Amino acid sequence: MKQDIIKMSVKTLSRCLETKELSALEAADAYLEQIEKKEAEIGAFLTITKEAAWETAKQVDAKRMKNEPLPPLAGIPAGIKDNICTKGIPTTCASRMLEHFIPPYDAAVMEQMKASGVVMLGKLNMDEFAMGSTTEHSYFKETHNPRDLSRVPGGSSGGAAAAVAAYEAAFSLGSDTGGSIRQPAAFCGVVGMKPTYGTVSRYGLVAFASSLDQIGPLTRTVEDNALILQSIISQDQRDTTSLAHPNPDFLAGLEKGVQGLRIALPKEYFAPGIDPEIRQAVKKAAASFEKMGAKVGEASLPTLEYALPAYYVISSAEASSNLSRFDGVRYGYRSENAPSLEELYKNTRSEGFGEEVKRRILLGTFVLSAGYYDAYYKKAQQVRSLVCRDFEQVFSQWDLILSPVAPTTAYRLGEKRENPLEMYQGDLCTVPVNIAGLPALSMPCGFDREGLPIGMQIIGKHFREDLIYQAAQAFEKEAAI
């Protein structure tokens, strides 16, 4: 039975809880047992909040026994990426800098999770401050890909993707600045959504690049994903970049199919840099959409190749400023070796941050410096406008864009560790979406010759998550992967 519980979709589990076939405590126990069994080989969690999980589960059960009305997510066990602030529970961003940091407040999404009665199992591993694509940049531990333990789970939400793939959580929340939800979802063979910028409040998400960061769900099914995202949409007064979502119901049209939908395959997304097997798998998915009644055709995003360098300039610039607050003065790591104020700053930051974070801070500081601002930061913002315009043009004729998520399947552990540029190249397909603030979903569409999952990306217009889910649902049913 316990194996059955963890294999259930969120939707099925929710129904079992509602009909009292199962209790929230049983569900929590099933997952905690799985965590105990699998964590040694997966390493998805940085903190496991067993006691708190039991506590929440008991509360949900008590309410259920009294027949109080409960939200659909009540009693569902989930994991949270460790850059989302959790009141009273360490939130480390997988950094030595925040090793002992316990926020006195919840992120907006955590408030929603709590209000929904979600049972939090723990905090999930990630690349330090969400910078990286392998989760190897965590200060604390490596996370292994449940599909092949010798491989990385992707990143930066590697723990979030691995936990869901390894049945250590019914769903998880990750964050995506340049592909950090979608790429690990692809590497681990789960469904990950980066919603339209402004859909989910960023309040309490430790900022990496404020103009690009979005929180989103990772799940094992498309429907679960729609259900979770729907429950965390909010225009939050505390986040002035959050917006009222004009189409907030993702479930109503979920089963409508793709008949008549226009799906574009921009040729730049199928360039030689992408593994032929992946190109083939995505094209096969396109054919399947066509078979189901969609109109599929080629399109072009001419400025796509500039999105990657623009992304690294903008995200690093914002990060260099966002991460300045970690100075050892008020909270977090402080160097023991601090005879003067200047040394306190220098040594705290040199010792507290890992290599990748320091690389980005240096890059970001450089591109904002006097004399370089125009050539880098300003230029990158101009590229950003051009990329947005390209997408707008395509979307004037098409409803959705279909592309690969990453140029390759999951890397071997250590493969990219010494070569950051190669790692950055892996973000080619995902960053343009963040640059343009668009929603995009990553889901499995096949396997490579080594049996590793291949992900495809469905990109929609701003606030058309409903259409993305509609197409993804049709494909999931059709392909049965």
Partner 1 sequence: MSIQEYEMIIGLEVHVELKTKTKIFCGCSTEFGAEPNTQCCPVCMGMPGTLPVLNEQVVHFAVKAGLATNCEIAYISKQDRKNYFYPDLPKAYQISQYDLPLCHHGWLEIEQDQGVKRIGITRIHIEEDAGKLVHVEGKGTLVDCNRCGVPLIEIVSEPEITSGEEAKAYLQKLRAILLYTGISDVRMNEGSMRCDVNLSVRKKGEKKLGTRTEMKNLNSIQNVGKAIEFEFNRQVQVLESGGQIIQETRRFDAANGKTFSMRSKENANDYRYFPDPDLAPIKISKALRTSLASDIPQLPDARKAVYMEQYGLSAYAAEQITCQRSMADYFEQTVSLCHYPKICANLLLSEGLRLSSGEEDSIPIQPGHFAAAADLLGEEIINSSTCRKVIQILWKEDQDPKALVEREHLAQIQDKSLLEAMAKEVIAAYPQAAESYRQGKTAALQSLIGQMMKQTQGKGHPEKIREALEQALQQ
C-alpha atoms less than 13 angstroms from C-alpha of 210 in its C-beta half-sphere: 12
**Is there binding between residue 238 and partner 1 (CB under 8 A)?**
yes
Out of 355, 373, 389, 397, point to the residue binding partner 1 (CB under 8 A): 373
Query: Is 156 designated active site?
Result: yes
Count residues contacting partner 1 (CB under 8 A)?
44
**Is there binding between residue 100 and partner 1 (CB under 8 A)?**
no
Distance CA 408, CA 297 (A): 23
Ranges assigned E (strand) in 27-97: 45-48, 77-81
Interface with partner 1 in residues 272-311 (CB under 8 A)? none
DSSP conformation class of 254: T
| Structure tokens given for 124 | 């999930």
Nearer to partner 1, 72 or 103 (CB): 103
Residue of 108, 122, 117, 167 lying closest to 14 (CA atoms): 117
Nearer to partner 1, 74 or 361 (CB): 361
**Is there binding between residue 362 and partner 1 (CB under 8 A)?**
no
Out of 19, 67, 240, 340, point to the residue binding partner 1 (CB under 8 A): 240
Q: In the block, which residue shows the tokens 């079992």?
A: 16
Looking at 156, 172, 242, 316, which residue is catalytic? Answer: 156
Phi-psi region of 463 (alpha: psi -120 to 50; beta: other; left: phi over 0): left
Interface with partner 1 in residues 437-456 (CB under 8 A)? none
Minimum separation from the CB atom of position 244 to partner 1 (A): 14
Q: Using CB under 8 A, which of the segments 161-169, 287-295, 328-336, 469-477 binds partner 1?
A: 328-336
Strand 295-299 relative to strand 262-266, pairing: parallel
Interface with partner 1 in residues 336-355 (CB under 8 A)? 341, 345
**Is there binding between residue 335 and partner 1 (CB under 8 A)?**
no
Query: Is 315 designated active site?
Result: no
Q: Which residues contact 122 (CB under 8 A, 6 or more apart)?
A: 35, 45, 46, 47, 48, 49, 53, 79, 80
| Structure tokens given for 353 | 């941050």
**Is there binding between residue 9 and partner 1 (CB under 8 A)?**
no
**Is there binding between residue 105 and partner 1 (CB under 8 A)?**
yes
Looking at 180, 315, 320, 442, which residue is catalytic? Answer: 180
Nearer to partner 1, 384 or 461 (CB): 384
Q: Are 307 and 314 in contact (CB under 8 A)?
A: no
**Is there binding between residue 103 and partner 1 (CB under 8 A)?**
yes
Out of 150, 237, 259, 382, point to the residue binding partner 1 (CB under 8 A): 237
Minimum separation from the CB atom of position 470 to partner 1 (A): 31
| Structure tokens given for 474 | 């049709």
Site string for partner 1, 53-92 (x = CB under 8 A): ------------------------------xxx-----x-
Concatenated DSSP letters of 374-404: IIIIIHHHHHHHHHHHHHHHHHTT-SEEEEE
Minimum separation from the CB atom of position 206 to partner 1 (A): 4
**Is there binding between residue 388 and partner 1 (CB under 8 A)?**
no
Phi-psi region of 154 (alpha: psi -120 to 50; beta: other; left: phi over 0): left
Nearer to partner 1, 244 or 287 (CB): 244
Q: Are 147 and 411 in contact (CB under 8 A)?
A: no
Query: What would you report as the CA-atom Rg of the chain, rounded to the nearest whole angstrom?
Result: 21
Query: Is 150 designated active site?
Result: no
Residue of 357, 332, 327, 323 lying closest to 344 (CA atoms): 327
Maximum CA extent, the chain: 70
Dihedral sign for Cα atoms in the order 31, 36, 38, 43: positive
Concatenated DSSP letters of 329-350: SSSS---S--SSHHHHHHHHHH
Out of 369, 382, 385, 397, point to the residue binding partner 1 (CB under 8 A): 369
Residue of 186, 226, 205, 182 lying closest to 9 (CA atoms): 226
Nearer to partner 1, 138 or 320 (CB): 320
Q: Using CB under 8 A, which of the segments 54-62, 235-243, 272-280, 451-459 binds partner 1?
A: 235-243
**Is there binding between residue 146 and partner 1 (CB under 8 A)?**
no
**Is there binding between residue 368 and partner 1 (CB under 8 A)?**
yes
| Structure tokens given for 395 | 């979307």
Out of 324, 337, 382, 385, point to the residue binding partner 1 (CB under 8 A): 324
Q: In the block, which residue shows the tokens 């099925």?
A: 12
Interface with partner 1 in residues 181-220 (CB under 8 A)? 202-207, 209-211
Q: Among all residues, which ones are annotated catalytic?
A: 81, 156, 180
For partner 1, the binding residues (CB under 8 A) are 83-85, 91, 93, 98, 101, 103-105, 107, 202-207, 209-211, 237-241, 317-318, 320-321, 324-327, 329-331, 341, 345, 365, 368-370, 373, 377
